[in-house]
């Protein structure tokens, strides 16, 4: 008698960042003629609503994927299309106070049909809906038989009614109805690329019969407090006699931030150039190459400091030589768990390119921390709104901007752009600039800064949109508590709702995906 075949192991769980490559490959197999979800989109999905993203694994292989978010009833039942309701796949319409779940995507490996993978994903959504005590689930469902019947039913609503009356068959609509969903009308031009559906979709609705209206509590305001303490160091550039003096100063400032129980401490852009002040002055290109020799010691010292002081360090930026021999202006993030993340400056200034031959990076993404996803924009990068929006779409709630400017005009460009990024993306932006002079370090001889921590401009935030601000050109430390729940409130119920109100039917920014 032949041995019995081992049973397959089926697991349904939440999507993780490690799953992203496999899910993108799955989507490519399911929709070979359409673009797959970008890495940025999937990062945004996880960061905004991790409990709403599901995968199905059979023997360790991802064979099913579902993306879900919360939305208010008033928004959900309005006419809408896929791009607008989902924030172009980033879930930027997710509302933590939403009373409905919206299904953005379900896809199943075409080679693993008839294993009830789709059923498992829909059941996971229903279980989540009941656990969150929401009203129900809805989504724009495909109607792939419509294009073949268009001549008989020019109006898609008539086609839907014919399916409901069992006059014709549509496999997808029938599946959704078997899962307990009922059509509530047609969403015209929901997905123009869905040719078999004529670009339309059915608004499918499942009601949670266990739902009960919450009783009024009489409590005014919100009780969820997500406080994050940010410390920004406006550091003075000083001439030193030995490199140990520089690292001793770092120990001091990080220690101060830790004593104030900071979650993050931010340093200025290129503040490590102070290391050159204890050496003879050399040409700018020679000096910047010399700086790269300090990279290993800088990274090791700061990483150990983050762990020892139990604080996340945004280590300004430091010139770093890449594998191909280029020198880039790199921001290092030293997390208190001992891990180190890097963010290249994408846009070197004309001076950086001319004097130092600094090359721009080619990728920017959020960095996961114990306080949620953050983004780093190095100085000039903050003056390009596409970067802040990409990070916001990936779920960033705080942007850190280390900068180095020599004049008031340069400082104001950074200041005004950072305030704009805070308003248009409804998030917090912390800046740190360098002050003082280094007479023997080329291209860094004078500095001008007024570091700050900026907020959106709405009733729940600081009156002037500034949580803390340093004195101009004075070495000092500023500290502010920022409340992440205020961001969620502003995005859902603020006077203006910039992320939600984008006209994605008119414009969108498409980023080049990194080479595999």
Which one of the listed residues 107, 129, 371, 379 is annotated catalytic? Answer: 379
Question: 402 has which bridge partners?
Answer: 432
Tell me, yes or no, if 116 is annotated catalytic: no
Q: Two tokens at 460?
A: 């729940």
Q: Residue 250 contacts by C-beta under 8 Å, 6 or more apart in sequence?
A: 267, 301, 302, 305
Query: Is 345 designated active site?
Result: yes
Among residues 149, 345, 352, 469, the one annotated as catalytic is 345
Question: C-alpha angle with apex 29: 23 to 35, nearest 5 degrees?
Answer: 80
Give the rounded distance of the alpha carbon of 141 from its chain centre. 27
Of the candidates 253, 248, 306, 259, the one whose C-alpha atom is nearest the C-alpha of residue 451 is 253
Alpha-helical (H) ranges within 334-376 are 350-356
Could you write out the DSSP letters of every residue in 344-355? E-SS--HHHHHH
Q: Which two tokens stand for residue 22?
A: 């496999």
Q: What is the CA radius of gyration of the chain?
A: 26
Cα maximum dimension of the chain: 88
Structure-token pair, residue 324? 């191909």
Q: Quickly count: other Cβ atoms within 10 Å of residue 88's Cβ.
A: 20
269 tagged catalytic: yes
Q: Reduced to 3 states, what is the DSSP secondary structure of residue 62?
A: strand
* Residue in 269, 274, 352, 383 annotated catalytic: 269
**Which residues does residue 478 pair with via DSSP β-bridges, in sequence order?**
232
Just list the catalytic residues: 269, 345, 379
């Amino acid at each position: 008698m032949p041995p019995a075949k081992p049973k397959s192991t089926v697991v349904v769980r939440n999507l993780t960042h490690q799953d992203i490559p496999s899910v993108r490959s799955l989507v490519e197999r399911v929709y070979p003629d359409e673009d797959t979800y970008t890495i940025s989109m999937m990062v945004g999905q996880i960061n905004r609503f991790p409990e709403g993203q599901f995968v199905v694994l059979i023997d360790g292989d991802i064979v099913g994927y579902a993306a879900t978010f919360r939305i208010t009833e008033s928004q959900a039942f309005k006419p809408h299309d896929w791009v607008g309701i989902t924030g172009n796949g980033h879930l930027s319409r997710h509302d933590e106070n939403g009373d409905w779940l919206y299904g953005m995507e379900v896809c199943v490996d075409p080679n693993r049909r008839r294993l009830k993978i789709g059923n498992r994903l829909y059941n996971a959504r229903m279980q989540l809906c009941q656990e969150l005590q929401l009203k129900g689930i809805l989504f724009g469902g495909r109607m792939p038989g419509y294009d073949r019947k268009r001549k008989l039913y020019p109006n898609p609503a008539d086609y839907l009614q014919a399916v409901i009356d069992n006059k014709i068959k549509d496999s997808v609509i029938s599946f959704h109805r078997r899962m307990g969903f009922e059509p509530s009308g047609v969403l015209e031009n929901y997905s123009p690329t869905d040719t078999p559906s004529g670009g339309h979709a059915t608004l499918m609705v499942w009601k949670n019969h266990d739902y009960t209206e919450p009783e009024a509590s009489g409590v005014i305001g919100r009780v969820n407090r997500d406080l994050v303490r940010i410390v920004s160091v406006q550091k003075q550039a000083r001439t030193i006699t030995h490199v140990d003096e520089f690292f001793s100063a770092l120990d001091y400032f990080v220690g101060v931030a830790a004593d104030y129980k900071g979650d993050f401490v931010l340093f200025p852009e290129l503040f490590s150039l102070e290391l050159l002040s204890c050496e003879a002055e050399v040409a700018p290109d020679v000096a910047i190459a010399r700086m790269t020799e300090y990279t290993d010691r800088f990274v090791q010292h700061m990483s150990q400091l983050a762990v020892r002081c139990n604080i996340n360090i945004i280590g300004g930026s430091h010139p770093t030589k890449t594998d191909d021999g280029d020198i880039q202006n790199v921001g290092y993030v030293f997390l208190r768990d001992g891990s180190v993340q890097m963010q290249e400056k994408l846009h070197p200034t004309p001076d950086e390119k001319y004097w130092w031959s600094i090359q721009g990076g080619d990728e920017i993404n959020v960095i996961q921390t114990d306080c949620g996803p953050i983004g780093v924009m190095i100085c000039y990068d903050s003056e390009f709104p596409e970067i802040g929006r990409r990070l916001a779409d990936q779920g960033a709630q705080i942007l850190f901007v280390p900068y180095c400017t020599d004049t008031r005009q340069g400082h104001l460009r950074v200041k005004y752009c950072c305030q704009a990024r805070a308003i248009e993306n409804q998030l917090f932006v912390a800046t740190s600039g360098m002050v003082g002079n280094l007479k023997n370090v080329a291209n860094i001889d004078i500095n001008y800064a007024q570091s700050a921590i900026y907020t959106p401009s709405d009733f729940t935030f600081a009156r002037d949109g500034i949580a803390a601000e340093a004195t101009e050109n004075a070495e000092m430390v500023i500290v502010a508590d920022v409340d992440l729940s205020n961001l969620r409130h502003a995005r859902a119920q603020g006077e203006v709702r910039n992320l939600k109100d984008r006209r994605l039917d008119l414009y969108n920014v498409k980023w080049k995906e990194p080479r595999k």
